[in-house]
Amino acid sequence: MFIAGFPAGAWGTNCYLVAPAPGEECVIVDPGHEAAGGVEDLVREHRLKPVAVVLTHGHIDHVASVVPVCGARDIPAWIHPEDRYMMSDPEKALGRSVGQQLLGQLTVGEPSDVRELTDGSVLELAGLSLTVDHAPGHTKGSVTFRTPQQPDLPPVLFSGDLLFAGSIGRTDLPGGSHDAIMRSLARVCLPLDDATVVLSGHGTQTTIGRERATNPYLKQAAGAAAGPGPVRRGM
């Protein structure tokens, strides 16, 4: 499996292109603010053919480039129905005072082909199998995508803003819930193998094993005593 990624835009949101190998079809994960140029650079560099966009949630820092990215290649975008409204109404998702600052700079809306994700479904796209796990807490419609175990390759979890290296996504925006995100951590992350590579919406790569041992929120989700946590990232 081939994965290339880059932090995009003002919020440094990680956008990923995933393919069986260079030169083949690919899936784009979370093309956020100012991500369209970076996507095109990677497509050219690695001779990729995008066939779909998949979104871990609807916050503007993860979806701001969905319309140009999908429109340039006439491909669909997949999102959970609870977060679909955010593509057209980011103000409602972020609060009016924040949204009013953003909308003067960004064009929002849905691409022409939007498809809805369901918990436990498996997307068969670009020769890849991506299992969808609904993981509310950061938003009501947050999801993760995980790849199966492959020979000599660990599984990969695209965690969005559920789990970061040393932290979790914030829960103080509309639709957020600390109790819900703790339940999602327990249900989605704790059962995974320690070797699972975590590629999150912000920050650096990590593994489930490392987070199980060091992340205070994941420890709390597992029922262990939790110390004070670090500052949460992401919109």
CATH code assigned at 101: 3.60.15.10
pLDDT at 106: 64
pLDDT at 132: 98
In a domain? residue 230: no
In a domain? residue 120: yes
pLDDT at 223: 81
pLDDT at 228: 47
Q: How many domains does the chain have?
A: 1
Closest CA to 138 of 108, 166, 160: 160
Tokens standing for 235?
Answer: 């919109």
In a domain? residue 19: yes
In a domain? residue 234: no
**pLDDT tens per residue, range 156-194:** 999 999 999 999 999 999 999 999 999 999 999 999 999
Amino acid at 164: F
In a domain? residue 226: no
In a domain? residue 216: yes
Domain that holds residue 123: 2-221
Say if strands 122-125 and 25-29 run parallel, antiparallel, or are unpaired. unpaired
Residues 6+ apart with CB under 8 A from 58: 79, 80, 83, 84, 85, 86, 87, 93, 139, 141
- List the chain residues with pLDDT less than 50: 96-101, 103, 224-229, 231
In a domain? residue 141: yes
